[in-house]
Structure 1
Amino acid sequence: MHILMIECNPNGMAGIANALDLGHDVTLVSVDPDFYLAVSPLTEAAYAHPNCQVIKSEKAFSIEELTALAREVHAERPVHGVTTYSEYHTVHTAAVAEALGLPGMSVDGARNARHKHLTRLTLDGTGIRQPRFAHVSDMTKVEAAVREVGFPCVVKPSDGTASLHVLHLKDEDDLTAYLAELAEVVDYGRGVVRIPDILIEEFVPGELISVESCVLGKGEVVNLGLTDRPLSGFPHFIEMGATYFTGHPLQDELFEMTTKVLNELGVDFGFIHTEFLLGPDGPVLCEVNGRLIGGIVPSLMQISSGVDAYLEVIRQALGERPELPFPGETIAGGHWFGSPVAGTVESIGFDGLKDLPGFHSALAYKKPGVEVSRLSKSNFDWIGHIIFTGADRDEVNKRNEEALDAIDLRLKVEVAR
């Protein structure tokens, strides 16, 4: 079978590698294929595989150009499935699948999930608990929208991801600084152009938790499990850990809300990641991501369930019924870590972790000699992660937190004189 992958993400290279190992052909379309060589150790072998074709296209973020390219690929060698692990490309993937007559999410459903202002506007008045919000598509109107919602509030680009440019604003000074920062952002790199829409939302205090689901068809939502998402402190919202588990006291309500959210948005296919804030009045919808959850969580799913979610994404795109990764008796969780200061990596060592109870694995994302920023603004500031297992999420989180002190991170830091 021939799979067309529209971009990817660093961890998603495991899905490409596994598909190749199973004998599938994979064509990856990317604006910058070299990006994946720098961020995933699996990429070089995947690119060298005889069944892997890599197409570099500067127009990969243009749906019309991408669809034309996909038709050319399909004419040369029939494509049997189209998919992505990239948040930026979910609408593109849906459009290409539709154009080729292959399984995929409806384009409207993908767009409603991808663009946060469409999520809010589509669900407004449905009874689903959301924060008070204002939506603007003109930067000159952000200040008035912030005053309409009031401080404290959260501002975010409608098409962002990985908490990039998402900020907690407490006062006018924060607002002024944010507007100056956002005015400089015209794209997210690798050809991804930012749309002008901005959301301003009331700040909802509470734990961030997500529901992982698989939509097998229109109206057929299967909720799999929950992922907790501890965050860094304000003003930015950096995810610092994740545990994939079942059994939360609010699980039934969260599952019911997720099913209603996805049906109302028209999300009718694929693995979906839906985030909620556990506010004082109950769960409040944060956002919907129309793709498999990113980061380390697919690995946590596999540790707990024995099911490779990356591969099941591909199987579903090929028209097969996916095996579903429900949490098992063993619970897995991980913590990301970054640097307390900007500097150049000399070494990242994990020897102190290997004999700790529940240790599963650890990975450094940065090699010696690479410059790193201080962990301060977004998930892109991560420089590695650790994974532990346990009997429940409390034990897993405790083991991860205690293990952070055993990481041996050495940096070369320039001292101002």
Structure 2
Amino acid sequence: MKKLYVILINDNVIRSGLADLGRLADAELWLVSSPHYARRLTDEQRAAYARIVVPDDMETTDLVALLDRELPRPRPEQLRFLTNDESCELICARLAEHLGTAGWPAARLLPFVDKMASKAALAGSGLRLPRHLRFDRDRHAADPRGYCERIAAEIGFPMVVKPVDRYASMDVRRLDGPAALRAWASWASSPKDRNSYEVDEFVSGTLYNFDALVQDGRVVWSNVCANLNPCMEFAAGRSLGVWTLPADDPTAVRVSGFGHRALAALRPPDGGVHMEVFGTPDGELVFLEVAARPPGGEMRAVYLRTHGVDIDLAHYLLRAGEPYDVRARPTGELGAWVITPRHAGRVSAVDLPALRSEHTVQVHVSVGETVARASAHIVEPPSAVFMVYGADRAAFGHDMDLLRDLTLYRVEP
């Protein structure tokens, strides 16, 4: 065996079946997957892999020992550990180091896994960062009230608390005053909460995505998207949606410039990059976070149609160091992926919006159904999924406005 690519997935998903990865790279593919992700594999996805390994957990030490036993001997001439999942990035680096094969070093990957490390890497870039600090459990334990007062003085209210290494706004909260901060800090310091947290200044405005593909340390393709609402508002009952901005849109040009400057300072590994940037009401751009992976949701499908780029496939080929030629073929269309949250109650009516652009919708609630609880975060099943496409910018903008504040269904009083 000349090439073996081992793909690790814990929390994230792969939208592509990846059959083309094995074919284009002339490599055998293995998948090492958490039980949670393995249950979601389609038959098409399973068919892409010569072997699927499902360990009980994805702890680094256990995986190193497991794969050291399971991998063929002699080792393949080209063995690579690949992922699109932040929780597996450092595992891939440690596996490569342990097995003596090529891979991106942990120090290079850390700013794309740890939100505090990314901000540290950008500290001298001249780009606007939110006020931030790493929450220190020991300092809180020594003086709970005093430490919370120091956090409040440094960050100010409102503030946002979030894990340094998770995604999809999981365990993210907005705190509006001292009592809320003290209550949260007490919970975050308890043995029941295993997250490491950062505390950030709350920044309001429009959330933008800067998506890019990097090859040989150089950005070879990029695009800017706007979000209907920030991710954390999904749990508050608002739609989550991402839509492509025209390349000549003035805001897209500014966000793209910001993204390129940030990547020059961050030095990402080859592959996909997904960055989030806030645009404030007064026009300031503020860095939020970054990951070395393609965007989530159904943005692979959106980019395939609007730009002719398979961002999932490109990510894995570039990360593996394959000589892949990224050739975008923009169609001139705008595209959007939008999901709507669930809210609790017995559904009395479903109200679909009158969109002007071409679209499809999958509705996952029905009249008479009782929805037990509201959506807690965007990883949970939505009430509906919209895919919207169109070249008419005015009509598309109208549709985004409708979807931004859409209440998909009514419940009985």
TM-score (norm 1): 0.79
2:178 to 172, 175, 196: 172
| Identity %, equivalent residues | 21
Instruction: Show the counterpart of 1:65.
Output: 62
Displacement of 1:401 after TM fit? 5.4
Instruction: Show the counterpart of 2:8.
Output: 6
* Residues 184/55 of structure 1: CA separation in 2 closer, same or farther (3 Å cut): farther
Distance 1:410 1:21 in 2: 48
Taking the TM superposition and a 5 Å limit, the aligned residue runs for 1:271-282 are 271-279=272-280, 280=282, 282=284
2:181 counterpart SS class:
helix
1:75 and 2:72 aligned: yes
Displacement of 1:283 after TM fit? 0.9
Distance 1:269 1:327 in 2: 22
Instruction: Show the counterpart of 2:298.
Output: 296
Instruction: Show the counterpart of 1:159.
Output: 165
Q: Is the 8 A contact 2:161 2:174 kept in 1?
A: yes
**Cα deviation code 1:171-198 (max 9, x no counterpart):** 12332443355456857xxxxxx453x2
What is the letter of the counterpart of residue 67 of structure 1?
Answer: V
Instruction: Show the counterpart of 1:311.
Output: 313
1:27 and 2:25 aligned: no
2:361 counterpart SS class:
strand
Displacement of 1:59 after TM fit? 4.3
* Residues 50/327 of structure 1: CA separation in 2 closer, same or farther (3 Å cut): closer
Instruction: Show the counterpart of 1:284.
Output: 286
Q: Is the 8 A contact 2:340 2:408 kept in 1?
A: no
Instruction: Show the counterpart of 1:190.
Output: none
Displacement of 1:138 after TM fit? 1.7
Q: Is the 8 A contact 1:10 1:36 kept in 2?
A: no
Distance 1:221 1:102 in 2: 25
Distance 1:324 1:71 in 2: 38
* Residues 297/99 of structure 1: CA separation in 2 closer, same or farther (3 Å cut): farther
* Number of aligned residue pairs: 394
Q: Is the 8 A contact 1:209 1:278 kept in 2?
A: yes
Instruction: Show the counterpart of 1:328.
Output: 331
1:259 and 2:257 aligned: no
Unpaired runs of 5+ residues, structure 1, are 188-193
Q: Is the 8 A contact 1:208 1:276 kept in 2?
A: yes
Displacement of 1:405 after TM fit? 10
**Cα deviation code 1:195-240 (max 9, x no counterpart):** 53x222222222110110112123x123510121122686968771
* Residues 364/5 of structure 1: CA separation in 2 closer, same or farther (3 Å cut): farther
Q: Is the 8 A contact 1:333 1:388 kept in 2?
A: yes
Q: Is the 8 A contact 2:17 2:44 kept in 1?
A: no
Distance 1:332 1:308 in 2: 14
**Cα deviation code 1:121-160 (max 9, x no counterpart):** 2222331211122223326166232332111222211112
**Cα deviation code 1:382-404 (max 9, x no counterpart):** 41411010126663353355479
Distance 2:300 2:224 in 1: 12
Distance 2:14 2:182 in 1: 37
Q: Is the 8 A contact 1:131 1:202 kept in 2?
A: yes
Q: Is the 8 A contact 1:115 1:158 kept in 2?
A: yes
Instruction: Show the counterpart of 1:250.
Output: 251
What is the letter of the counterpart of residue 283 of structure 1?
Answer: L
Q: Is the 8 A contact 1:302 1:325 kept in 2?
A: no
Instruction: Show the counterpart of 2:342.
Output: 339
What is the letter of the counterpart of residue 274 of structure 1?
Answer: M
RMSD between aligned residues: 3.9
What is the letter of the counterpart of residue 286 of structure 1?
Answer: L
Distance 1:240 1:286 in 2: 17
Taking the TM superposition and a 5 Å limit, the aligned residue runs for 1:2-401 are 2-7=4-9, 11-16=13-18, 19=21, 25-32=28-35, 34-37=36-39, 40=40, 43-47=42-46, 49=47, 51-62=49-60, 64-76=61-73, 78=76, 80-97=79-96, 104-138=103-137, 140=140, 143=148, 144-179=150-185, 182-183=188-189, 194-196=194-196, 198-218=197-217, 220-231=218-229, 240-245=240-245, 246-279=247-280, 280=282, 282-320=284-322, 321-325=324-328, 327-341=330-344, 357-363=356-362, 373-375=373-375, 377-383=376-382, 384-391=384-391, 395-399=395-399
What is the letter of the counterpart of residue 293 of structure 1?
Answer: P
Distance 2:204 2:270 in 1: 31
Q: Is the 8 A contact 2:6 2:82 kept in 1?
A: yes
* Residues 204/28 of structure 1: CA separation in 2 closer, same or farther (3 Å cut): same
* Residues 50/203 of structure 1: CA separation in 2 closer, same or farther (3 Å cut): closer
Displacement of 1:44 after TM fit? 4.0
* Residues 268/20 of structure 1: CA separation in 2 closer, same or farther (3 Å cut): closer
Unpaired runs of 5+ residues, structure 2, are none
Q: Which of structures 1 and 2 has the bigger CA Rg? A: 2
**Cα deviation code 1:67-112 (max 9, x no counterpart):** 3444444435736443222232222234434555666544212111
What is the letter of the counterpart of residue 208 of structure 1?
Answer: L
Distance 1:204 1:166 in 2: 14
Q: Is the 8 A contact 1:46 1:52 kept in 2?
A: no
2:316 counterpart SS class:
helix
Worse overlay, 263-272 or 366-375: 366-375
1:75 counterpart SS class:
coil
2:278 counterpart SS class:
strand
